[in-house]
């Protein structure tokens, strides 16, 4: 292969067979994105390909980065409003012109996916005639835009519908926003070939080019039709009548602007020719990008995590920490999930507990669930744990005294410098640190469940935690594939306070006569990932009662409605949550079958259907108030950490951008939020009364206005 020339964004290499290998490599960024440099250089490269087409036998598009292409440069969309819709649509239309030039070049074009191709990165690959990927489970492929509150805007909806038909494109790719591994993508049809090693990519791509000198995209073939039929054809009538109902079921009745726009884009685009469908897609995508909900989701998903990473303090001379040996203390389901997470990334893991038999049983269960190549898992007696471990993770769900006892026993023989983490959800880390040999090496590390699905960790820095220990804890979280937010060591921490407010308000509704189905429906319509009663079942009543007790101990308040309601459920009705097979919901083989029919009689709920928006506001405002209070007490050190933790740790609706942003963006801004708090306090009690500091802040907003 001989290098002919280099464009700023593209390396142009011409092989002896006349194949141009274009390697995308943005020198100023860690990933290739659609920015001004890409747009300008892509246009110039296409000009050259068209000018030299007679000497070119094919094109291979690949990347010099660890990922193939990261899609849009989201910073270009920060702060956009409705007045930017036309501007964004024009930007998308221009990009589509370039992609169309690539696929109609008259020469075979192959995307050699050396890494992840998500969103706009995969749309770039879709404009190629063939897609070959490397067998790397981290090299994900797909169109996940729906999870960001937008839709694919560079031809993704138009091309997938013409490749797979409306139903498959919608239900398997666009609406769920699934990220596929290369082999999963091959099975779905998103890639055409998977090779074992990266150095086989170019060889496979060149082989396909040699065998297909004059390919066309399916939609450019004469008489091309949409698989399964287009709207207006008799065979699609049933599908089109079912799609809105299926969307309603997918969103559980909640408003989902992105899903609704994707459905509209697909159906409208399938009625018209390819070019018009592209224009329709641009208009719908631009409207979503300029919407507040999309801006909020993008901010809390990308910009604020980046802000958190930049602000993280790390000793300059500290090398990256990677654990090889871990000790997990606890025999409950969460301890098992933590042990599983450690072993899955190759860490040899020992499980210990006060009851060796229980620890051994957990170890056996974890071993049975592990995939090939995982770390080893065994159990040990708590008084005879070896000293040579890199990290200890305590996850004992007993009372504080028992937690300290087990932690002291397991850590008594540790070698100096061992990182000690506590999966405490409320107990101050500074108090737990009293029983370990080196308190400066102890960090709170709150795991959210299910551990294998939750991507966030809440790290708790006490006044005794060293900067080195905190940095190592964050590194360890990264080793498990999770990002961390750092919170202060105050009673209840941050996420537990927000979770507590959610459950307390829901159970207050129930105890006050609000029908349970209305409570769950209100939460679902507001955009919560899980209704509060289902969440209470999942966490188990005993765990919630313990957390509630710890919270009330620290705040010196009387028992909350959580304690009284769960106490009744247990004592009177023998219902303890999902683990016991009976809670607010009924269960069969660990699957929810519906709310318990006895709830109405047990809590005297009425038949009158309450106003759902009022219930939604009660849940949202109550949590936002708890977050604002925690921020004022410096439990959360920054707005960014508070917003990220509320969405990704507790499940606060992502369209809000987080608890603090919800308050700031309430109708009327912060003054409107304070006014709404006052109205809710009059109707439902002092728990909604805004603190004086918040009233003062709102007053300053009014003065500036």
Listed residue (518, 22, 505, 566) closest to 13, CA to CA: 22
Report, as an integer, the average pLDDT of 365-379: 90
Instruction: Give backbone dihedrals phi and psi of 35, rounded to 5 degrees, phi first.
Output: -125, -175
pLDDT for residue 540? 86
Spatial distance between the Cα atoms of 416 and 79, rounded to a whole number of angstroms: 49
103, 145, 344, 394: the catalytic one is 145
Two tokens, residue 433: 């640190």
> Topology of domain 325-492, per CATH?
Rossmann fold (3.40.50)
Residues 485-523: tens digit of each pLDDT: 999 988 778 999 999 999 999 999 999 999 999 999 999
Quote the DSSP letter at residue 291: S
Share of the chain above pLDDT 70, in %: 96
103, 123, 193, 458: the catalytic one is 123
Instruction: Give backbone dihedrals phi and psi of 331, rounded to 5 degrees, phi first.
Output: -125, 20
Residues 345-357: tens digit of each pLDDT: 999 999 999 999 9
31, 58, 71, 72: the catalytic one is 72
Q: Which residues contact 257 (CB under 8 A, 6 or more apart)?
A: 149, 288, 291, 293, 294
DSSP-H helix ranges across 327-428 = 333-344, 356-369, 400-411
Two tokens, residue 238: 């049933």
pLDDT for residue 341? 95
- pTM of the complete model: 0.86
Listed residue (145, 453, 447) closest to 297, CA to CA: 145
What is the DSSP secondary-structure string of 379-401? EEEGGG--S--SEEEE---S-HH
Q: Indicate whether 553 pLDDT > 90.
A: no
Please check whether residue 377 is in contact with residue 367, taking contact to mean a CB–CB distance below 8 angstroms. Answer: yes
End-to-end CA distance of the chain: 64
Domain ranges (residues) in the chain: 10-213+229-290, 325-492, 495-508+531-601, 613-703
120, 121, 149, 488: the catalytic one is 120
Please check whether residue 332 is in contact with residue 425, taking contact to mean a CB–CB distance below 8 angstroms. Answer: no
Other C-beta atoms closer than 10 Å to the C-beta of 364 total 13
Q: Indicate whether 569 pLDDT > 90.
A: yes
Residues 586-640: tens digit of each pLDDT: 999 889 999 999 999 999 876 667 888 999 999 999 999 999 999 998 889 899 9
Min mean pLDDT across 36-40, 130-134, 202-206, 283-287 is at: 36-40
What is the DSSP secondary-structure string of 445-487? EEE-SSTTT--EEEEEE-TT--HHHHHHHHHHHHHTT-EEEEE
Determine how β-strand 391-394 pairs with β-strand 325-329.
parallel
pLDDT for residue 76? 77
Q: Is the peptide bond before 450 cis (omega within 30 degrees of 0)?
A: yes
Min mean pLDDT across 140-154, 255-269, 544-558 is at: 544-558
Q: How confident is the model at residue 6 (pLDDT cuts 50, 70, 90)?
A: low
What is the DSSP secondary-structure string of 90-122? HHHHHHHHHHHHHHTSSS-EEEEESS-EETHHH
**Residue 492 designated active-site:** no
Q: Indicate whether 44 pLDDT > 90.
A: yes
Q: Indicate whether 3 pLDDT > 60.
A: no
**Residue 123 designated active-site:** yes
pLDDT for residue 705? 46
The CATH number that domain 10-213+229-290 falls under is 3.90.226.10
Residues 166-176: tens digit of each pLDDT: 999 999 999 99
Q: What is the mean pLDDT of the chain?
A: 90
**Residue 233 designated active-site:** no
pLDDT for residue 22? 96
**Residue 72 designated active-site:** yes
pLDDT for residue 192? 97
Judge: domain 613-703, CATH 1.10.1040.50.
Answer: yes
Two tokens, residue 506: 């829901």
Q: Indicate whether 395 pLDDT > 50.
A: yes
Share of the chain above pLDDT 90, in %: 67
Identical fold between 325-492 and 495-508+531-601 = no
Other C-beta atoms closer than 10 Å to the C-beta of 304 total 23
CATH of 495-508+531-601, one of 3.10.450.50, 1.10.3720.10, 1.10.1040.50, 3.40.50.620: 1.10.1040.50
Q: How confident is the model at residue 701 (pLDDT cuts 50, 70, 90)?
A: low
Residues 18-43: tens digit of each pLDDT: 999 999 998 888 888 888 889 999 99
Report, as an integer, the average pLDDT of 562-584: 92
Instruction: Note the Cα 455 to chain centre separation in Å.
Output: 6
Two tokens, residue 361: 């049983």
Residues 181-235: tens digit of each pLDDT: 999 999 999 999 999 999 999 999 999 999 999 999 999 999 889 998 888 778 7
């Amino acid at each position: 292969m001989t290098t002919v020339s280099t464009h700023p964004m593209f390396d142009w290499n011409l092989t002896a067979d006349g194949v141009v290998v274009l390697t995308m490599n943005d020198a100023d960024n860690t990933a290739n994105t659609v920015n001004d440099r890409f747009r300008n250089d892509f246009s110039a490269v296409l000009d050259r390909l068209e000018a030299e087409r007679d000497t070119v036998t094919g094109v291979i598009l690949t990347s010099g980065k660890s990922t193939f292409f990261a899609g849009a440069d989201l910073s270009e969309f920060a702060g956009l409003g409705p007045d930017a819709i036309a501007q964004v649509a024009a930007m998308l239309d221009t990009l589509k012109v370039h992609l169309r030039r690539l696929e109609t070049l008259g020469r075979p074009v192959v995307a050699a996916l050396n890494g992840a191709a998500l969103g706009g990165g995969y749309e770039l690959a879709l404009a190629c005639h063939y897609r070959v990927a490397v067998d790397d489970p981290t090299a994900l492929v797909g169109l996940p835009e729906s999870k960001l509150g937008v839709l694919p805007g560079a031809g993704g909806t138009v091309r997938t519908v013409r490749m797979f038909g409306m139903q498959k494109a919608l239900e398997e790719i666009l609406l769920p926003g699934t990220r596929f591994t290369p082999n999963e993508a091959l099975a779905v049809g998103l890639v055409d070939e998977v090779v074992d090693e990266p150095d086989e990519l170019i060889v496979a791509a060149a082989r396909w080019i040699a065998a297909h000198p004059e390919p066309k995209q399916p939609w450019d073939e004469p008489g091309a039709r949409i698989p399964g039929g287009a709207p207006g054809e008799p065979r699609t009538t049933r599908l089109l009548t079912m799609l809105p109902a299926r969307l309603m079921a997918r969103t559980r009745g909640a408003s989902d602007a992105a899903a609704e726009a994707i459905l509209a884009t697909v159906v409208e685009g399938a009625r018209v020719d390819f070019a018009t469908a592209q224009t329709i897609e641009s208009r719908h995508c631009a409207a979503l990008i300029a919407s507040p909900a999309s801006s909020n989701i993008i901010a809390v998903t990308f910009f604020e995590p980046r802000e958190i990473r930049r602000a993280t303090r790390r000793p300059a001379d500290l090398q990256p920490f990677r654990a090889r040996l871990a000790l997990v203390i606890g025999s409950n389901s969460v301890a098992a999930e933590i042990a599983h997470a450690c072993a899955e990334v190759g860490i040899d893991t020992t499980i210990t507990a006060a009851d060796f038999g229980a620890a051994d049983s957990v170890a056996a269960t974890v071993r049975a669930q592990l995939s090939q190549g995982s770390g080893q898992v065994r159990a040990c007696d708590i008084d005879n744990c070896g000293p040579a471990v890199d990290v200890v993770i305590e996850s004992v769900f007993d009372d504080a005294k028992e937690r300290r006892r087990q932690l002291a026993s397991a850590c008594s023989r540790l070698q100096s410098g061992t990182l000690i983490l506590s999966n405490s959800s409320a107990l101050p880390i500074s108090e737990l640190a009293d029983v370990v040999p080196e308190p400066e090496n102890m960090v709170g590390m709150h795991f959210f469940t299910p551990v294998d699905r939750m991507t966030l960790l809440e790290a708790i820095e006490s006044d005794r935690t060293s900067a080195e220990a905190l940095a190592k804890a964050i590194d360890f979280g990264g080793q498990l594939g999770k990002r961390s937010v750092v919170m202060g060591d105050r009673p209840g921490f941050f996420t537990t306070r927000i979770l507590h407010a959610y459950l307390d308000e829901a159970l207050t509704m129930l105890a006050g006569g609000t029908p349970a189905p209305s409570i769950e429906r209100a939460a679902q319509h507001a955009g919560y990932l899980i209704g509060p009663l289902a969440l209470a079942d999942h966490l188990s009543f005993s765990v919630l009662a313990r957390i509630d007790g710890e919270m009330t101990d620290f705040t010196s308040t009387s028992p909350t409605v959580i304690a009284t309601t769960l106490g009744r459920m247990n004592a009177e009705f023998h219902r303890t949550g999902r683990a016991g097979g009976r809670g607010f919901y009924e269960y069969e083989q660990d699957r929810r079958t519906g709310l318990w029919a006895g709830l109405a009689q047990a809590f005297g709920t009425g038949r009158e259907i309450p106003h759902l928006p009022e219930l939604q506001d009660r849940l949202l405002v109550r949590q936002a108030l708890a977050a604002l209070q925690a921020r004022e007490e410096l439990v959360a050190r920054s707005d960014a950490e508070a917003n990220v933790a509320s969405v990704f740790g507790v499940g606060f609706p992502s369209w809000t951008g987080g608890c603090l942003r919800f308050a700031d963006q309430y109708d009327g801004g912060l003054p409107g939020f304070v006014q709404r708090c006052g109205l809710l306090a009059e109707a439902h009690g002092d728990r909604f009364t805004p603190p004086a500091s918040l009233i003062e802040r709102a007053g300053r907003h009014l003065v500036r206005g």
